[in-house]
Structure formats: C-alpha cells, structure tokens
Structure 1
C-alpha cells in the first residue's frame, strides 16, 4: 500500500509540476520570475501530489470510512488545496476568488456526490461482469 501511494504521489506531483511549468511558459513566456516563485510551483505540485496521489487513493481504496464521510473529507481538502494552490500561484487571483469560498465548497460537494454516484454505478457493473465471468 505505501509503495503504491508513494508512486502515486510522485507521479501526480511531477505531472503537476510539468503542467504548471508549461502553463506558466505559455502565459508569461518573456517574464522573468524569481527563484523563490519556483518553490511556490513546487508547493502547488506537492499539494496536488498529496491530494490526488495519496489522500484520494487512500480514502477510496484503503480506508474504512463510509462514503458520505469520504465525500465530505474529499470536498473540504479539495477546496482547501485549491485555494492554497491559487494563493501560491497568484495572490491577486486569490483575492478575486476568496469571496466565493462557500459557493465553491458547495459546488465541490455537489460534484463529489455526482461523481461518486456515477463511479459507484460503473464500479458495480464492472464487478458484476467480473463475477459473471467467474460463474461461467
């Protein structure tokens, strides 16, 4: 389990760092950035790596919490990591979106519920097909 979560973390963090670097290159290719800003980008990558590489797989594959608790934890952590990532990327952008925190939290909760519903339906069909294959 720990080896899998470690691999997930490094894949998500490195992929995010490459993705953010490409986005920064496209939007501000001729702008000089300070070396300390690179640490902000690494911080964003670590946040995304922890969230999608460790926390999400742990909650949905290994934890024994009920689905409602997983959805709540994922919603809160997702929103907090998103706001922290935006703050690390640009404080002006953070100031623009800060008033919408509650609305984004509710939207994230709704989207997590919808996603869980469709994923569990898909997963049940896949499990049923696997069980049917075993019975034949």
Structure 2
C-alpha cells in the first residue's frame, strides 16, 4: 500500500502543479482552492501516508489501509471537480464538494485509526 500511495501522490502533484502553472500563465487565480487542496490532500497527505505505510508494513497490510486508499482516491476527485465548478460559479456543484469532503474525512479518520492501532515501536 505504501508504494501505491506514493505513486498516486505524484500524479496529484503533477495535476496540482499544472493547475498552478495555468493560473500563473493566465493570471486568473479562480482555481486556487483546487490547486491548494490537490497539493495538500493529494500530493502531501497521500505521500506522507505512503511513507508511513512503507515504514510500518504492519499498518499497510490492513483492510483499513486499503479502504483508506480507495476512499481517498474516490473522494478527492469528486470534491475537486465539484470545487472547480463551484468556484467557477456553478452553485449546483456544492453537493459534490460536500459529498467528496465528507468521504475524505471518513477516509482520514480510518487512516488515523489504522495508525493508532497498528503503528508500534517494535514494528519498525
């Protein structure tokens, strides 16, 4: 799971950087919230989760790790696509942001439970 998290985090990093480059080239910064969230929840959070799972394989082998991976990777695109539409003026996209955001929080709570339960000093 650790390697999967690290590899997908790099995909989100590329997407986030490309959004940033687009905004600076056009001098239109409407998508700043999308850029920031993709870099934070995609690149940084998933990269860190991947490194934690590499360092603590006992946590990576759990069902919680797999569920976290899939919830994170389903919720983030839903939330970011919804947010892109929302900041572009499509108010009807708000439920997508709320749904994606709620799922994201659930995924992160599962990650936290997994780390608390399965990361132990002796597992290093």
Give the TM-score normalised by the residue count of structure 1.
0.41
